[in-house]
Structure 1
C-alpha cells in the first residue's frame, strides 16, 4: 500500500475561542501540509479530539477536508471505539468513496483480551473492503495489543494492511518488523521513535508534530526510508525538544500552541482537555521563533 508510506499527519481539529470548529483554520492547515511535503492526511483521529466531536461536526470536517484536498493526497479516516457494533455500523454505512483507508484505534477502557482484539478487528475487516490501519496505543487504551495478535490479523485479512504502533516500545517495533508479512506496513505512532523505526525497516509515521513542520519532518522520514541515517538524524536532533514539549502536558494542547505560533490556528481545546500552561507556551514560543 504505497499510499501509506512516508509521513502521514494526524490533523488537529482547530477550534475558535467559543469552541466551535474553525473551518478556515482547518483549510489553512490542510493546504499548509499539502504544499510542504506531507504524504497523506489522517482525519478525525484521536489527535483531532474525536471523542468530543459531534456526528454533525464530523460530517462537516470530512466534507471540508475532502473538498480542500481535492484528491491531491490520500486520506485516512479515523473510525474506532470500544463499541464494536457501532464501529462496524459506521464503517459499513458511511460514504467512503473519497477515503483511501481507515485508521481504527484499539478498544479503550474495556481492556479486552488478545482474542477480544482479534474478534473486534475481524468484525471491522469483514464489514468493509477499504484498507484498514490498526492503531495500538496502550498508553491511552489501557491494554497493549501484542505483536502476535497484530500479525495474526495481518495474515488473516487482506484489507488489514498496516498498524500504527504507538506503544513507545522499540522491542515491540522490532518484533513486528522481524515477523510481519512482506506487504504489511509498520507505521510509527511515536514521533520520538519514528526515525529509528524507518531506519529499521518501517514504512514511516503518522505524526503529530509533522503537521507543524511538514517540510522538515517529512524530509527526515524520507531520508530514514532511504537509509541515510546521518542526514536524517541531523533533523531528528533539531526536533527532539519540540517533540518532548508537545506531549509534556496533553495532546493536542501542545501541538495547537505550535500551530498558534505559526499563525495557523488557536490553541483552544475542548474539555476535559485544557490549554497548555503559560510555562509550556513560553517554551514552545521560544523554540518556534528560533527554528
Structure 2
C-alpha cells in the first residue's frame, strides 16, 4: 500500500460547521506534494460526526485531487460490521485505494470474535484492508497472534496500524508476523522505534503540519540513515507529543489553522483547544520556526 508516511488528514469545516470543500482541496494538494499516502475520515478527520452524504463527497474530492499520485485510504470502521460494509462500498465507488478499519468498540469482542469480525468484512470487499488497533479509544486490544491470524486468513488484509502505545507488544508483533504483513505506527513519537524494529512507516497526525519533516524522517530510516532520523526525531519529538495535549484532533486542528489551511472549528463533542494549550503550541511553533 505504502512505505513511509501517510497523513491522517483533518476535515476542514466552515463557520457553520459544514465541510469546507475548498479548504479540503487546498489542504490535500499541500499534503500530496510530500507524503506517501493520505488517510481520510479517520479519527483525525472526525469521522464519527460525518454523515454518509458528506462521507461520499469528501472521499470523492480527495480521490479527485490526489489523482492516483499516491494511495487514498479511507477510514470505514464502526462497531457495526454492516455499517463498515456500507462504508467500504462507498469508498470503492469513489475510487479509494484501501481501507483502514478500527477494531470494534463499546460492544467489544473476544480475540476469536475479532478474527471473525474482520474476516466477515474482508470477505465482502476486494479493497486492501489495514487493521487499526487503538485500545485507548476502543477498550479492546488486537493481540499480535490475533493480528497474524486475521492477516493469514484474509488475502486482502495487508497489515495493521498499531496505536496501542505498547512498544513491547509492537516488537512482539514484528517478530512473529509474516514478512509481507505491513506494520504502521499510529503514534508519531513511536515511528522511529517501530520502523527500526522492522515496521513500514507511520499513519501520522504530526504530518498534517509538517509532512515534509515526517517524510524525511521515515525515508531516512528506509535508507538506514538512522543518524538523520534520530536528529529529526529529537528536534520535533516534543511537538509530536504536545499535538496530543488534548484529545485528538483538537490540537492538530488548531495547529493546521495556524498555517491557514482550515478554520479552528470542530464538531461536538469536540471543542476548541484551551487557551493554555494554545500557548504551548504557539511557543513550540515559534521555537521551531514554523
Q: TM-score higher than 0.5 here?
A: yes
Write the distance in 1 (CA, Å) between the matches of 2:242 and 2:132.
Answer: 23
- The match for 2:216 among 196, 216, 219 is 219
The CA deviation string for residues 130-151 of structure 1, in whole angstroms up to 9 with x for no partner, is 1110000000000111111101
**2:232 is equivalent to residue 245 of structure 1:** no
- Give the number of equivalent residue pairs: 288
Query: What value does the CA root-mean-square deviation take over the aligned residues?
Result: 1.3
- What residue is the counterpart of 1:32 in the other structure? 30
Deviation at 1:88, TM superposition (A): 2.4
The CA deviation string for residues 68-125 of structure 1, in whole angstroms up to 9 with x for no partner, is 1122211101111101122124324653462111110110111211111111100111
- What residue is the counterpart of 2:197 in the other structure? 200
Deviation at 1:289, TM superposition (A): 2.9
- What residue is the counterpart of 1:6 in the other structure? 4
Q: SS at 1:47's partner residue?
A: coil
Structure 2, unpaired ranges of 5+ = none
- The match for 1:275 among 243, 251, 272 is 272
Q: SS at 2:172's partner residue?
A: helix
- What residue is the counterpart of 1:23 in the other structure? 21
Q: SS at 1:193's partner residue?
A: helix
- What residue is the counterpart of 1:100 in the other structure? 97
Change in 2 beyond 3 A, CA 1:93/1:53: closer
Cα pair 2:185 2:191 within 8 Å, conserved = yes
Q: SS at 1:205's partner residue?
A: strand
Write the distance in 2 (CA, Å) between the matches of 1:94 and 1:202.
Answer: 26
Q: SS at 1:290's partner residue?
A: helix
The CA deviation string for residues 167-199 of structure 1, in whole angstroms up to 9 with x for no partner, is 001011111110111111011111110111111
Write the distance in 1 (CA, Å) between the matches of 2:241 and 2:126.
Answer: 37
**2:73 is equivalent to residue 67 of structure 1:** no
Deviation at 1:287, TM superposition (A): 1.6
Cα pair 2:60 2:94 within 8 Å, conserved = no
**2:82 is equivalent to residue 85 of structure 1:** yes
Cα pair 1:12 1:48 within 8 Å, conserved = yes
Write the distance in 1 (CA, Å) between the matches of 2:52 and 2:86.
Answer: 14
- What residue is the counterpart of 1:156 in the other structure? 153
- The match for 2:140 among 115, 119, 143 is 143
Deviation at 1:128, TM superposition (A): 1.1
- What residue is the counterpart of 1:173 in the other structure? 170
Write the distance in 1 (CA, Å) between the matches of 2:215 and 2:76.
Answer: 25
Cα pair 1:186 1:202 within 8 Å, conserved = yes
Write the distance in 1 (CA, Å) between the matches of 2:183 and 2:82.
Answer: 27
The CA deviation string for residues 10-60 of structure 1, in whole angstroms up to 9 with x for no partner, is 01101122211111111111111112x200001111110000001111111
Cα pair 1:11 1:211 within 8 Å, conserved = yes
